[in-house]
Amino acid sequence: MNYNELESLTVTLTLDNDEELECEVLTVLETEGQSYIALSPTGGSDEGQVYLYRLIDRGEDEEPDIENITDDDEFERVSAAFDSWAESLEFGDIDLDELDEEEETE
């Protein structure tokens, strides 16, 4: 499956209490050969939260599945990868050449 296609997708999570939570797919990350998915609820009190899950690829003909990350070290590693991704977005839209030009004119 091409994970780049997930950018504009939403998924519905079924929580332990059988409540359904609609989430936007933020990104798919890879660290140490394992893929992970970052989801953000699209409304309600959880809006603005980010949920990280292990992504299990079932093959081209089947939908991927997700699993909870239960190992603390693994979760820390994935959280750091997500933070790096998020930081790259904040600075990705800045044209560094344009900033240099603005500093020179001041």
What is the residue extent of each domain of the chain? 3-105
Q: How far apart are CA 74 and CA 23, in angstroms?
A: 22
Residue 104, token pair as written in the block: 């020179």
Task: Specify the pLDDT at position 16.
Answer: 85
Task: Specify the pLDDT at position 82.
Answer: 93
From first to last of its 106 residues, the chain has per-residue pLDDT tens of: 444 454 468 888 888 899 888 899 999 999 999 999 999 988 777 777 899 999 998 777 788 889 999 999 999 999 999 999 988 876 655 455 554 444 444 4
Tell me the Ramachandran region of residue 32: left when phi exceeds 0, alpha when psi lies from -120 to 50, beta otherwise. Answer: left
Residue 53, token pair as written in the block: 């899950």
Task: Specify the pLDDT at position 101.
Answer: 46
Q: How far apart are CA 13 and CA 67, in angstroms?
A: 11
